[in-house]
Amino acid sequence: MVMGAAGSKLEKALGDQFPEGERYFGLENFGNTCYCNSVLQALYFCLPFREQLLEYYANNKSGGEAEDNLLTCLADLFTQISSQKKKTGVIAPKRFVQRVKKQNELFRSYMHQDAHEFLNFLLNELVDILEKESNAAKASPETSSSSEKIANGLNHPQGNGVRKEPVSTWVHKCFQGILTNETRCLRCETVTARDETFLDLSLDIEQNSSITSCLKNFSSTETLNAEDKFFCDKCCSLQEAQKRMKIKQPPNILVIHLKRFKYIEQLSRYKKLSYHVVFPLELKLSNTIDNADCEYSLFAVVVHVGSGPNHGHYVSLVKSHNHWLFFDDENVEMIDESTIQTFFGSTQEYSSNTDHGYILFYERLGGGC
């Protein structure tokens, strides 16, 4: 069987360097479900997330009468992969994909879907389920201590001040960061700061740029004037102002989404930007408020293959135990680290290379969830 052969090829390639207890499994495609498979592989190799999910499964599997939800289906899938006897092979994430389609009509068709939309939907759905479980646990005192610990990871009473303390589920602890939106009135110099949380950052991209320059643009100061003036509470009137967005609290896992699909007014449709955007293996965030230097290391990339937004394919590149692997649905193979730069994008507008990095996953060095 071809798949088995591919698996044994990977085992041969790694030889005695095959990581103890690790599993490398391809995922079967159920008709255009590569958007889902590529994101699942990136999340599986996000170790803090995987560990929490496996622990959640172990703590909750006794309640067999509970109804399936996206969290239990995902936990079940990750547990299935991690407990396989064989080191490599293929798994069909059928129950999970069925649940996604049942839950969200957006993913029901066989059309090409957006991997970033899927990731967003999935993380928000998991957060909702964990928060509901945590609140239910608080409501019933006899179960509170154990299940609250599981659902919440941390036990935060909810503040009812101006800014709600975010309920800290373990999904938040992995992916959530805080942005500060600062607006300075140019007349009275008063700074209004508003905090907002994020699970991923969407960055505008330019030709021949880098993640670092995209992040700088993201945090650059913009002047609000003419019809965009800002209402200053102190001046009680519309004033010219300067606005900037800063990362106040960097997340443990930084997910960066490159806005490769742009709506072109004249064409009334989306166009894929094949721009060359360099994403480094090691990333320094130097524009954060509290942390002068926060360092990250790249561990996964979801790649969009294809020249347009409405068709194409998704694959993922994943770093596991210092080896880079290429996951393309059922197929898993080893790649050289230097291959990663072939996914930066094209320096010319029309290029035969259509494999472009789309979602980047960085883990914070020196800090887990």
Question: Which amino acid is residue 76, in one-letter code?
Answer: D
Q: Work out the burial of residue 144: count CB atoms within 10 Å of its CB; fewer than 13 is exposed, 13-18 middle, 19 or more buried.
A: middle
Q: Work out the burial of residue 2: count CB atoms within 10 Å of its CB; fewer than 13 is exposed, 13-18 middle, 19 or more buried.
A: exposed
Contact 10, 25 (CB under 8 A): no
- Both tokens of 143, joined, read 């179960």
Q: What distance in Å separates the CA atoms of residue 300 and residue 297, rounded to the nearest whole number?
A: 10
Q: Does 34 participate in catalysis according to the annotation?
A: yes
The residue annotated as part of the active site, out of 276, 313, 323, 356, is: 313
User: Concatenated DSSP letters for 222-274?
Assistant: EEE-GGG-EEETTTTEEE-EEEEEEEEE--SEEEEEE--EEEEGGGTEEEE--
Sign of the torsion angle spanned by Cα atoms 57, 59, 63, 67 = negative
Contact 229, 240 (CB under 8 A): yes
Separation of CA 129 from chain center: 18
- Both tokens of 72, joined, read 């239990």
Q: What distance in Å separates the CA atoms of residue 259 and residue 165, rounded to the nearest whole number?
A: 30
- Both tokens of 305, joined, read 């293959």
Q: Does 313 participate in catalysis according to the annotation?
A: yes
Q: What distance in Å separates the CA atoms of residue 100 and residue 339, rounded to the nearest whole number?
A: 33
Counting runs of H as helices and runs of E as strands, what totals does the chain give? Answer: 9, 20
| Positions marked active-site | 34, 313
